[in-house]
Chains A and B, each alone.
Chain A
Amino acid sequence: MTKYILKRVGYSIVTLFLLVAITFFMMQLLPGDPFTGEKQLPAAQMEALYAKYGLDKPVWQQFFIYIGNVVQGDLGVSLTYNRAVTLMITEAFAISFDVGIRSICFAFIGGVLLGTLAAIKRGKAADTVAMIIALLGVSVPSFVVASVLQYFLGLKLYMATGMRIFAITGWEGFNSHILPVVALGFGSLATISRLMRTSMLDVLGQDYIKTAKAKGLSQSGIIFKHAMRNAIMPVVTVLGPITAGILTGGFVVESVFGIPGLGKYFVQSIQGLDYTMICGTTVFYGAFLIIANLVVDIAYGLIDPRVKLEG
């Protein structure tokens, strides 16, 4: 088990290093530098500026300086907002994290229940309905779901009833939370429910379920005590990719709903070519996802006894 965890941590560190390296060299590839503006500065002044910001050093030295800065949490200064990128990220990410966690909970609980329902009622109407929902979720991009929800449940419902049941934009108060969370979690809910259905069907065909039935356990007892615990295993493995999906999906959903989270800033900085902000956010997102994957891997190792045997 220790060996397994060490191996995972090792991979994650290498991956993180690679991510920072990719980001750095991408920045190097960008044309121009911060001091080539409309006004042509004298060569001596340029040299002085380069020396001040360390741009006269060879690229590999700059690279290690950059890595040192990243490790210390210094990601530079935003070109459009003129504030420290790290500060902006920590501020905005609190909101994105809130949105994301709620979406993951919604997707996980909804997906597991929907998948279980579909498996128990296999071939019946409930199964068909659940799988149609799942297929829609896999096929319809999140920005479409977001727009449709915003239009029908936000705007049309308000116009029809005169009551603000769901707020259209922002992230204040519970009624503004529902639509973004549903829009963001819908795709993942679909993935989880499809996976859960397959895995549940597999488990329900096992002998120990027959034994439990023969012992006279109730249907709900069998499902919740025996089947669900085992069927949920494959779902845990996709939590890593699902976190990634929800985080990146947040870019568009936050923009559509006007939530002041990191995703919205990221899209704005891409559109406004705010390079330091883009790179800072990229490194941050990448690191977050790599760590999230690591946590999921280790959690899976703790749950699944087979991983322990492998060492």
Chain B
Amino acid sequence: MTQIDKSRFEWIGSDSARREGISRPSTTFWKDAIGRLMKNKVAVVCFFIIVLLILSCIIVPFFSPFESREQHLGEVNKGFMTVCTDSRYEGQHHVHYFGTDNLGRDLFLRAFEGGRVSLMIAFAAVFVNLIVGLIYGGISGYVGGAVDTIMMRIVEIVNGIPYLIVVILLMMVLPKGIFTMVVAYGITGWTGMARLVRGQVLQLKSQEYIVAAEAMGAKSSRIIAKHLIPNALSVIIINVTLAIPSAIFTEAFLSYIGLGVPVPQPSWGVLAKGGQDVFMTYPYQLVVPAVAISLTMLSFNLLGDGLRDAFDPRLRR
């Protein structure tokens, strides 16, 4: 073995500030996730589309000169951008932006009022799922043991019943309406959330910092509120975002087969059904509700995907 001459090495000094320094700014989990979400242009655009849709569904109906169930019998099945010629609005130059349906109702207003109903049902239904799932899954995971086993067996059995069929049965029995839809979806849709929450709780429960908190004598309520919920939140947010499009789809589906919200009230599903009935002759009537449903579902799906990437620490760079 040859000796390496020491003179070939040189002391370049040590920069202790750089060695001990913090290479990147300190950040919390949430700041980091939001930062990464902001970099995902698709997700940001989808977020703004969703906000815009919700706001316009809330606001637009207030500014419409018409009423959603008001019929203009002289203007049945008119196309886009038809000027209103009804005698009640003479000289006011109103326009049916999306045309009128086969009863002479303004489709522009009905699209946004329908959006109110559809979005309201979707959000309420997912909220019910979330609450039931949180409580059920939380108890099952936290208590563990025999209780957990029994509760999960029940979930497995409930999960085995095709939910759309139960929803259809419930819709037959209960009076038609928004509330019934929320109940029907809530009764059947909670199992996924419950499983998810249980999985998270089980995973987190064995973490060292939870054990440490328990050892230091923290109460269950404190552990749940301060440790379990904040840590499981990201997964729950993703799941909620991805559950909303499925709720919107269910509403549209049920309205489509005639089990949706009662007749004078518009919803996207009801409008799509109306458009479908006259699709061969007046195809434009299906366009608006179809685009509205698809755009909303697409935005929520893409935002959900973006959130999943943003919350995934493995994708951190």
Contact A248 B173 (CB under 8 A): no
A270: contacting residue among B160, B258, B283, B290, CB under 8 A: B258
Partner among A30, A135, A256, A275 whose Cβ is within 8 Å of the Cβ of B276? A256
**What 0/1 pattern do residues 135 to 156 of A give for CB contact below 8 A with B?**
1101111011001101100010
- Contact code string B255-282 (vs A, CB < 8 Å = 1, else 0): 0111100000000000010001001100
Q: Which residues in chain A, 248-291, are within 8 Å of chain B measured between CB atoms?
A: 248, 251-252, 255-256, 267, 270-271, 275, 278, 282, 285-286, 289-290
Cα distance, A23 to B172, chains bound together (Å): 11
- Interface status of B134 (Cβ within 8 A of chain A): no
Shortest Cβ gap from B50 to chain A (Å): 13
| Residue A244 at the chain B interface, CB threshold 8 Å | yes
Q: Is B164 an interface residue (CB 8 A)?
A: yes
In whole angstroms, what is the CA distance A11 to B152 when docked?
A: 12
Shortest distance from the beta carbon of A243 to any chain B beta carbon, whole Å? 10
Selecting from B10-18, B214-222, B292-300, the interface stretch reads B292-300
CB distance from B178 to the nearest CB of A (A): 19
Partner of A248, one of B156, B162, B172, B280: B162
Which residues of chain B are within 8 angstroms of A255 by Cβ–Cβ distance?
257
| Chain A positions 186-219 with a Cβ under 8 Å from a chain B Cβ | none
Residue pair A15, B160 in contact (C-beta under 8 Å): yes
Interface locus among B55-63, B80-88, B233-241, B245-253: B245-253
Instruction: Give the size range of A's interface with the partner.
Output: 35 or more
* Among A22, A139, A148, contact of B166 (Cβ-Cβ < 8 Å): A22
Task: List the B side residues contacting A282 at CB < 8 Å.
Answer: 165, 168-169
**Known interface pairs A26-B173, A251-B257, A270-B172; A147-B157 also in contact (CB < 8 Å):** no
Q: Does B95 make an interface contact (CB < 8 A)? A: no
- Out of B162, B290, B298, B301, name the residue touching A244 (CB < 8 Å): B162
B84 to chain A, nearest CB (A): 28
The smallest C-beta distance from A270 to any residue of chain B, in angstroms, reads 6
- Give the number of residues in B that approach A within 8 Å (Cβ atoms): 35
Q: A139-B297, A140-B294, A286-B162 are in contact. Are A270 and B168 (CB under 8 A)?
A: yes
Contacts of B170 in A (CB 8 A): 26
Assembled-state Cα–Cα distance A19/B169 (Å): 11
Q: A26-B173, A282-B169 are in contact. Are A144 and B162 (CB under 8 A)?
A: no
Report whether B249 and A143 are in contact in the complex, using a CB–CB cutoff of 8 Å: no
Q: Which of B157-201 contact A (CB under 8 A)?
A: 157, 160-162, 164-166, 168-170, 172-173
Query: B286 at interface (Cβ–Cβ under 8 A)?
Result: yes
18 new A-B pairs (CB below 8 Å) besides A144-B293, A270-B168? Answer: A22-B161, A26-B173, A139-B294, A140-B290, A143-B252, A143-B276, A147-B279, A147-B290, A148-B290, A151-B279, A155-B280, A248-B253, A255-B257, A275-B172, A278-B169, A278-B172, A285-B165, A290-B161
